[in-house]
C-alpha cells in the first residue's frame, strides 16, 4: 500500500475498524487502538510516560496516590481513569486531557513524512463490543486539531508536532499498552531501559477499561506472518540472513501468551526479563551495549508460535530468544531455533523437549523439569504428609506439558513399588478451564484419594481446587511452578474462607519476598523499574533468567556471536546468583538448576516455605 500511515489510519477510521494500528517511522513507533473507528488508546515510543506525567503536572497527582489507585483498579477491574475520578485525584476532564495528550503524541509520529515508514493493522473485531467511554475521532485529533502539547509538558520540538525524547524506558512502558507489539515493534535504534514503568499488569492493564484493557495488556498480536516464500508444507524455504550484534544494543525475542487463559504467565515472565535487562542497562549494559526485549503474543497456540518465531528471527533479526512461555509451542519454537542456529534460552517450560541428553547445542534452560517437580511433590506427600502412594491422584493438562508431569509421578510410583497403571489420573483440555469432568471423576474416587498432584495452568487449577472443595473433599493439592502461584492465590482468597487450605506449590525459585540475596536484588529492581508490581514467583524466574543471560553475554566478550554465547554458557559452573542453589551449565548438560523449593498457601494469600523431604 502506497498511502501514508496517516492516510491508512484515516481509512481504517472511515471503515469503523477495530484493532491495533502499528507504525514505525525513522526509529520511532506508534500504536493506535481503534474501537469501531475511534481511538481508545495510543502510545509512542518516545514518550512512554506521557499520560501519567500529564496527570502529575496538570492534576497534581503524586506517585503514592497513583500506586494506590493502580492497586485498587486492579483489584476491582475498573479503569484507572474512573478510579482516579472516583477518588477525586483527578477530574474527568483532566483524565480526558491526559489521554488526549498521549494520543496526540502518538499521532505526531504517524504524521511524519517518511519514505521508510512501515505500518500494519491487526484486526480485533472483539474491540467493537467493549464498553469504552473515552474515545476520540481520528479526524478530531489529527493535523493538530487536538490541541498542541504544551511546551512545558512536551519539551522543545524540532519540526511540527515532533516531540523531544522523554524519560523512561520505551520497551517496558510501551509493551504495557501495545502489549507485545508495543514492545516488539520497538524502535531499533534508541537507548532503552533506564528507569522503566512496567504497566503490564498495572496502570495500563486497567486504563481503558475491563476487557479491552486486559486484551491490550496481554499483547494482541496473533503473530505477524513472515513476508516471504514458504514451501507447500508451510516450512520456510529461505535461509535467515544472520544479523551481527548492533554496536549500541542487543535485541532478544520472546514468544509467549499475552492473551487467553495463560496470559498471566506471559506477562509475568516478560516483566521479569525486562526488569533484569533494565537493571543491566542502568549499569552500562553489556560491554556498552543496551539490551532490549521484543515480546510477541502466540496465544498459547503452537501454530502461532512458529509464526512469531519467524517474525522475531527473520524480520526483527533478534540476536536470540529468551523466556518463551508454554510447553505447547516449545517443540516447534525449539526446532526452528536450532535449525536457524539461534540461541533458545530460559524458556518457562519443564517439558523434556528442553531437557534432552545430550542437549541441543543452542538450547539452554534454567528451570528443573516438570517431571522433577511432580516427583518432588510425590516424595513430599509420601515422606512428609504420610500419604500412601495408592492414595495419590494426578490432574493434568492433556498435552505435552501434562504428559511430562505424569511421567514424573509414574517414575516415583515405580520407585515406591506402586503399579503406575493403578494411578487415578484425570485431564482437561489445553486453553480451557473446563474441569468439571475431572472433578466428577475425583469425586467418584473420594474414598480412595487423599491427595492430587496438579499439572495445570492457573485458571484450570483454580477451578479444579474450588470445585473439589465445593464437593466437601479435604484433599492435599499440589501444583507445579508454571501455575503462577500469585494468580492462584488471589483467586482462592477471593473465593472465600477455606479454599486456600491444603494447597502446595513446588517452585523453581525461592520465595520472592524472602531475604535471600537474589530475592533482595529482585525486590529492589522490581520497585525501581515498575509501578504497582508486587513480587511473585514467575517474574522472579524471569529476572533470574535475564540475569543468567546477561552473565553469559558478559562472558561472551565485546563482540558477541551466537557461538561465543554458547561457549560462554557451557563454561558457566557453580554460578552463585544468591538463590542458595549454584547454577551450572556444561557441554553435556544445558539445564542450569535442579533445585526445587516447596511453598504452602496461607489463608491471607501469602506463601510460606516448607520442606519437601
Q: How far is CA 326 from CA 255, 261, 350, in A?
A: 9, 12, 9
Confidence of residue 564 (pLDDT cuts 50, 70, 90): very high
Q: Which residue has the higher pLDDT, 527 or 225?
A: 527
Output DSSP code: residue 128: G
292: left (phi over 0), alpha (psi -120 to 50) or beta: beta
The pLDDT value given to residue 376: 95
Of 2-6, 314-318, 527-531, 549-553, the range with the lowest mean pLDDT is 2-6
Whole-number Å distance between alpha carbons of 167 and 482: 34
The pLDDT of residue 77 = 56
Q: Do the beta carbons of residue 334 and residue 363 sit within 8 Å?
A: yes
Percentage of the chain surpassing pLDDT 70? 79
CATH architecture of 370-507: 3-Layer(aba) Sandwich (3.40)
pLDDT at 294: 93
Q: Is this structure's pTM higher than 0.75? A: no
* Per-residue pLDDT tens over the stretch 504-553: 999 999 999 999 999 999 999 999 998 888 999 999 999 999 999 999 99
Predicted pLDDT of residue 56: 83
Does the pLDDT of residue 205 top 60, yes or no? Answer: no
Q: Who wins on pLDDT, 500 or 82?
A: 500
pLDDT attached to residue 203? 28
E-only strand ranges, 415-469: 424-428, 451-455
**Confidence at 116, pLDDT banded by 50, 70, 90:** confident
* Phi, psi angles (nearest 5°) of residue 184: -85, -35
Q: How far apart are CA 528 and CA 549, in angstroms?
A: 21
What's the pLDDT score for residue 179?
A: 32
Domain 245-368+513-593 -> CATH class: alpha beta
What is the pLDDT at residue 214?
A: 33
Q: What is the pLDDT of residue 347?
A: 95
484 vs 495: CA distance, rounded Å: 17
Residue 181 is predicted with a pLDDT of 31
Percent of the chain whose predicted confidence (pLDDT) is above 90 = 47
Strand order in the sheet with 476-479: 424-428, 392-397, 451-455, 476-479, 503-507, 597-601, 607-610
Mean pLDDT for the stretch of residues 437-444: 95
Q: Taking all residues of the chain, what is their mean pLDDT, rounded to a whole number?
A: 80
Q: For residue 469, what pLDDT is reported?
A: 96
How do residues 150-200 score in pLDDT, each as one tens digit?
A: 333 333 233 333 222 222 333 343 333 333 333 333 333 222 232 333 333
For the chain, how are helix, strand and coil distributed in percent, rounded to 5? 45, 15, 40
What are the boundaries of each domain within the chain? 1-221, 245-368+513-593, 370-507
Fold agreement (245-368+513-593, 370-507)? yes
**Separation CA 601–CA 190 (nearest Å):** 43
For the chain, how long is the longest CA-to-CA vector? Answer: 77
pLDDT in tens, 447-497: 999 999 999 988 899 999 999 999 999 999 999 998 889 989 999 999 999
Measured at the CA of 484, the angle between CA 255 and CA 347, to 5 degrees, comes to 35
Q: Is the pLDDT of residue 258 over 70?
A: yes
**Between these two residues, 122 and 496, which has the higher pLDDT value?**
496
Higher pLDDT, 37 or 226: 37
Query: Could you give the CA distance from residue 244 to residue 553 in angstroms, rounded to a whole number?
Result: 14
Q: Strands, E, within 246-347: which ranges?
A: 249-256, 290-297, 320-322, 343-345
What value does the mean pLDDT take over residues 236-251?
60
Closest C-alpha to 358, from 547, 587, 119, 183: 587
Q: What is the mean pLDDT of residues 87-100?
A: 87
Q: Encode pLDDT of 406-430 as tens digits.
A: 888 999 999 999 998 889 999 999 8
* Average pLDDT estimate for 354-372: 91
Q: Which of 82-96, 259-273, 363-377, 531-545 has the lowest mean pLDDT?
A: 82-96
Of 539, 602, 546, whose CA–CA distance to 322 is shortest? 546
The pLDDT score that the predictor gives to residue 493 is 95
Q: Where are the alpha helices (DSSP H) in 142-262?
A: 151-154, 170-177, 179-184, 210-217
Cα 18 to Cα 584: distance, rounded to the nearest angstrom: 48
Can you tell me the mean pLDDT for 214-231? Answer: 30
Confidence of residue 360 (pLDDT cuts 50, 70, 90): very high
Amino acid at each position: 500500500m502506497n498511502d501514508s500511515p496517516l492516510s491508512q489510519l484515516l481509512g481504517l477510521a472511515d471503515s469503523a475498524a477495530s484493532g491495533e494500528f502499528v507504525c514505525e517511522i525513522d526509529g520511532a513507533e506508534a500504536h493506535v487502538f481503534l474501537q469501531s473507528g475511534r481511538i481508545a488508546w495510543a502510545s509512542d515510543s518516545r514518550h512512554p510516560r506521557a499520560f501519567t506525567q500529564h496527570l502529575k503536572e496538570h492534576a497534581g497527582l503524586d506517585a503514592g496516590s497513583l500506586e494506590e489507585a493502580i492497586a485498587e483498579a486492579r483489584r476491582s477491574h475498573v479503569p484507572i481513569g474512573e478510579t482516579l475520578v472516583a477518588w477525586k485525584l483527578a477530574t474527568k476532564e483532566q483524565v480526558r486531557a491526559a489521554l488526549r495528550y498521549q494520543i496526540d503524541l502518538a499521532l505526531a509520529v504517524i504524521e511524519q513524512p517518511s519514505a521508510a515508514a512501515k505500518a500494519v493493522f491487526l484486526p480485533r473485531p472483539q474491540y467493537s463490543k467493549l464498553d469504552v467511554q473515552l474515545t476520540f475521532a481520528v479526524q478530531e485529533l489529527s493535523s493538530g486539531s487536538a490541541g498542541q502539547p504544551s511546551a512545558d509538558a512536551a519539551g522543545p520540538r524540532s519540526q511540527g508536532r515532533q516531540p523531544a525524547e522523554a524519560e523512561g524506558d520505551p520497551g517496558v512502558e510501551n509493551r504495557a499498552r501495545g502489549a507485545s507489539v508495543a514492545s516488539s515493534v520497538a524502535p531499533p535504534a534508541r537507548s532503552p531501559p533506564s528507569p522503566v514503568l512496567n504497566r503490564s499488569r498495572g496502570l495500563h492493564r486497567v486504563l481503558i477499561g475491563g476487557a479491552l484493557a486486559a486484551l491490550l495488556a496481554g499483547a494482541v498480536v496473533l503473530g505477524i506472518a513472515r513476508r516471504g516464500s514458504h514451501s507447500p508444507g508451510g516450512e520456510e524455504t529461505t535461509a535467515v540472513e544472520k544479523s551481527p550484534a548492533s554496536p549500541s544494543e542487543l535485541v532478544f525475542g520472546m514468544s509467549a501468551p499475552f492473551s487467553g487463559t495463560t496470559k498471566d504467565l506471559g506477562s509475568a515472565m516478560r516483566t521479569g526479563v525486562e526488569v533484569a535487562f533494565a537493571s543491566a542497562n542502568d549499569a552500562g549494559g553489556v560491554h556498552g551495549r543496551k539490551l532490549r526485549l521484543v515480546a510477541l503474543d502466540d496465544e498459547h497456540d503452537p501454530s502461532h508460535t512458529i509464526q512469531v518465531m519467524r517474525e522475531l528471527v527473520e524480520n526483527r533479526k533478534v540476536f536470540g530468544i529468551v523466556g518463551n512461555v508454554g510447553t505447547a509451542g516449545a517443540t516447534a519454537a525449539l526446532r526452528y531455533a536450532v535449525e536457524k542456529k539461534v540461541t533458545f534460552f530460559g524458556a518457562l517450560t519443564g517439558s523434556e523437549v528442553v531437557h534432552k541428553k545430550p542437549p541441543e547445542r543452542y538450547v539452554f534452560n534454567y528451570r528443573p523439569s516438570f517431571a522433577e517437580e511432580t516427583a518432588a511433590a510425590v516424595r513430599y506427600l509420601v515422606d512428609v504428609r504420610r500419604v500412601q502412594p495408592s492414595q495419590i491422584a494426578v490432574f493434568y493438562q492433556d498435552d505435552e506439558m501434562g504428559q511430562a508431569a505424569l511421567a514424573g509421578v509414574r517414575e516415583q510410583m515405580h520407585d515406591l513399588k506402586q503399579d503406575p497403571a493403578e494411578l487415578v489420573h484425570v485431564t482437561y483440555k489445553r486453553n480451557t478451564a473446563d474441569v468439571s469432568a475431572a472433578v466428577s471423576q475425583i469425586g467418584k474416587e473420594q474414598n480412595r484419594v487423599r491427595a492430587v498432584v496438579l499439572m495445570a495452568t492457573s485458571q484450570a487449577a483454580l477451578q479444579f481446587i474450588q470445585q473439589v472443595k465445593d464437593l466437601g473433599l479435604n484433599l492435599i493439592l499440589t501444583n507445579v511452578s508454571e501455575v503462577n502461584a500469585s494468580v492462584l492465590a488471589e483467586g482462592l482468597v477471593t473465593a472465600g474462607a477455606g479454599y486456600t487450605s491444603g494447597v502446595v506449590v513446588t517452585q523453581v525459585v525461592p520465595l520472592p519476598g524472602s531475604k535471600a540475596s537474589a530475592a533482595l536484588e529482585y525486590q529492589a529492581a522490581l520497585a525501581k523499574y515498575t509501578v504497582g508490581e508486587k513480587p511473585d514467583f514467575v517474574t522472579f524466574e524471569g529476572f533470574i533468567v535475564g540475569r543468567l543471560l546477561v552473565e553469559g553475554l558478559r562472558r561472551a566478550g565485546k563482540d558477541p556471536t551466537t557461538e561465543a554465547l554458547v561457549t560462554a554458557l557451557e563454561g558457566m559452573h557453580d554460578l552463585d546468583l544468591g538463590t542458595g542453589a549454584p547454577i551450572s551449565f556444561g557441554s553435556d548438560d544445558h539445564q542450569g538448576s535442579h533445585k526445587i523449593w516447596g511453598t504452602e498457601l496461607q489463608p491471607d494469600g501469602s506463601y510460606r516455605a516448607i520442606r519437601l523431604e
